[in-house]
């Protein structure tokens, strides 16, 4: 059984990722990732696929060029045991629009070990990506 303190630490760890993004320090979360970290993102996104720790860190600046973390709002941030779900509404860079993303984190030993990302109705995001010049 997971104690409440461990659950709250897991929740705080996940929240620290979004706080870093809002400060423009999107990769500052890297030390909080376990060496065996796994990321799962829908393949229809330019940064979609399955990645390990370094792959995740490498793609974060590109994600921050498209998602505006300063316009992030938690719809819910729920922790049960060492599983944390962040349901967020986040701005799309270059627009006044937002999208909803559900991010499912697993934490072990005070490190994030897994992140599964689900985008709700990503058309606004995909349209903006298509309109941007290639980096």
Task: Summarize pLDDT for 22-32 with one digit per residue, the tens.
Answer: 999 999 999 99
Domain that holds residue 85: 4-130
Query: Is 115's pLDDT higher than 70?
Result: yes
For tokens 């986040």, the residue is 90
Is 135 inside a domain boundary? no
Return the C-alpha torsion angle 61, 91, 103, 37, nearest 10.
10
Query: How many contiguous H segments (helices) and E segments (strands) does the chain have?
Result: 3, 6
Burial 65-87 (b: 16+ CB within 10 A, else e): ebbbbeebeeeebebeebbbbbb
Is 51 inside a domain boundary? yes
Is 10 inside a domain boundary? yes
Is 71 inside a domain boundary? yes
CATH code of the domain containing 8 = 3.10.450.50
Reported as a pLDDT band with limits 50, 70 and 90, residue 4 is confident
Reported as a pLDDT band with limits 50, 70 and 90, residue 67 is very high
Query: Taking the model in full, what pTM does it have?
Result: 0.86
Identify any residues that bridge with 120 across adjacent strands, giving them in sequence order: 100
Is 92 inside a domain boundary? yes
Reported as a pLDDT band with limits 50, 70 and 90, residue 2 is low
Higher-confidence position of 1 and 39? 39
Strand, coil or helix: 75:
strand
Give yes or no for a contact between 97 and 91, defined as CB atoms under 8 angstroms apart.
yes
Distances from the Cα of 120 to the Cαs of 31, 44, 50, 87, 131, in angstroms?
29, 13, 19, 10, 20
When divided into structural domains, the chain yields a total of 1
- What is the rounded distance in angstroms from the CA atom of residue 9 to the CA atom of residue 39? 20
Is 38 inside a domain boundary? yes
């Amino acid at each position: 059984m997971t104690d409440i303190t461990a659950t709250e630490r897991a929740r705080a760890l996940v929240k620290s990722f979004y706080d870093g993004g809002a400060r423009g320090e999107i990769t500052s979360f890297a030390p909080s990732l376990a060496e065996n970290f796994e990321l799962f993102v829908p393949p229809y996104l330019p940064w979609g696929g399955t990645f390990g720790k370094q792959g995740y860190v490498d793609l974060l600046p590109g994600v921050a060029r498209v998602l505006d973390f300063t316009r992030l709002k938690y719809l819910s941030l729920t922790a049960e045991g060492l599983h944390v779900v962040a349901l967020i509404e986040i701005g799309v860079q270059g627009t006044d629009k937002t999208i909803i993303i559900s991010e499912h984190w697993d934490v072990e030993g005070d490190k994030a070990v897994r992140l599964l990302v689900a985008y709700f109705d990503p058309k606004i995001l995909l349209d903006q990506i298509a309109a941007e010049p290639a980096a």
